Every structure is written in C-alpha cells, then in structure tokens.
Amino acid sequence: MNNRRREFGGWALAAAIAAAVSGLAGCDSDVFTVDVNLRKQVYSADFGEAQGTIPMVACTPAGPDVCGAAIGATEITSDSANAEVRTGCDATAMTCFASARVVGSTSVNVLQDDNFITRVERRSVAIVRDGDITITVPVNSLTFSVPAIQIFVGPPGSTRETDNGVVPVGVTDPLAAGQTVSASDGRHLIVQDGSPAHTFISASVSNKQTMVFLMVMTPQINAGAPLPAGAIEVDLATKLKLGF
C-alpha cells in the first residue's frame, strides 16, 4: 500500500512539473523581456544664408586651389553637431564642388538613463534581443540633398566614424533638400542580430558601459548647384528589447 502511495505521489509530482513547464512554454516571451526607450538624441547644424551657386570653374585635382578661392567661406553654426564645408575638384568633371560634412556624437550612459533605470532596475541583463533606431528630421531648410544619413556606435570618447572601435549601424534613404521626416513617418534602422553594432551594443548594455552614437552626413554639392545653406535637425530614438 505504501509503495502504491509513493508511486502515485511520484506521478503527481511529475504531472505538476510537466504542467508547469507546459505553462511556461505557452507564456508570451515578453514575460522575459522588457522594452527600453533610451533618451532621444538631437543633432542640429546651421549652414547660414549663403546666396548664389557653386561657380563653374575649371580645375585639376593636383593643381592650385582655385575652388577654395572661387567658392569662398560658408557661415556655419552648430548646436549639437560639428559642421564644415570643404571644397575640392571633381576628378571626372574637372569642376569645383563643395562637401557639406555634419558629424554629431552623443554619449549614452545606461546607468544615467531614467527609462533604463526605471524599467530594468537592478536586474542583470542577459542579452539585447533587438534594437530599433527611429530617425526623424523635424527641421530641414538645407539647399542641398543628403544621399544618406549614416549612424555609427562606438566606445566612450568617440567623435568621428573613423575612431578606433566605432562600428556602423546602418544608413537611411536619401533626404531631398528641404524634406522633413515626421515621427509618424520615422525611418527605422534595425540593429541586425550578429552584426558588429548588435555585438557592441549588447556588450555595452550587459556590462552597463557608456556607448557613443554618431550621426554622419557627407553630401557633395557639384558646380551649378546652390551654395550650402540652411539648417537641419536630426533626432534619434533608440528602443532596445532586453532579455533577462
């Protein structure tokens, strides 16, 4: 009789464990994950109110800097991004061009991010499952188009995409002169699993280390086009799905 009771008890325990495992398997995976929206990053630059067009001046890449003298200086102010205009000679067309370069960098310290602290609290992060960066452009009065907005991520102290340890996240579609991008039409960059960016972000979050996001634009404006002018603001909203 005792043996039968022990045997029945063993069956009951096994059934309970099986039911528990089955219940966990049927649960939504979100039980083990949490979405964290990091603090929005804002990058802005202003190329001033230059008038006219880039002159059709003949040049040679190895010759005198006739382009710099012909195009002249462009007034630039920046709030949270470094902007500059460089001149050069197009080796194919043999005419002058201007390059409007904008680079912005923002440090993200998860231990100081209010949303991260609120959602994650003191739990240990096992992995970054997904990453989604939404890019919006609420302000754009630029006189030139932007072929792509490039996003990078790197270690503390990074200020340029060529700095040691900086890896690419992705690039957006072209942005026409004066074109804005609203929040409802935000352009998304998915941090692909297995990519250098995913590996870097996952390690930074798991180890609760600061990381730096960089926004880079390097459009070239050719002869005959309007001189670089106008202002732009690019906002980045990063959402991470964290697993525990």
Q: Where are the domains of the chain?
A: 30-243
- Given this model, what pLDDT does residue 93 score? 92
Inter-residue contact 90 to 222 (CB < 8 Å)? yes
- Given this model, what pLDDT does residue 76 score? 76
Distance CA 234, CA 113 (A): 20
Q: What angle do CA 236, 218, 140 make, to 5 degrees?
A: 55
pLDDT along the chain (244 residues), means of 10: 50 44 43 78 90 89 86 72 89 92 88 66 68 96 95 94 96 95 93 92 86 95 92 93 78
Distance CA 150, CA 158 (A): 15
Q: Model-level pTM greater than 0.85?
A: no
Inter-residue contact 99 to 216 (CB < 8 Å)? no
Distance CA 107, CA 34 (A): 22
- Token pair, residue 89, equals 């000679």
Phi, psi of 60 (to 5 degrees): -135, 140
- Given this model, what pLDDT does residue 70 score? 82
Q: What is the CATH number of domain 30-243?
A: 2.60.120
Helix (H) or strand (E) holding 220: strand 220-222
- Given this model, what pLDDT does residue 128 score? 82
Distance CA 85, CA 72 (A): 10
- Given this model, what pLDDT does residue 28 score? 45
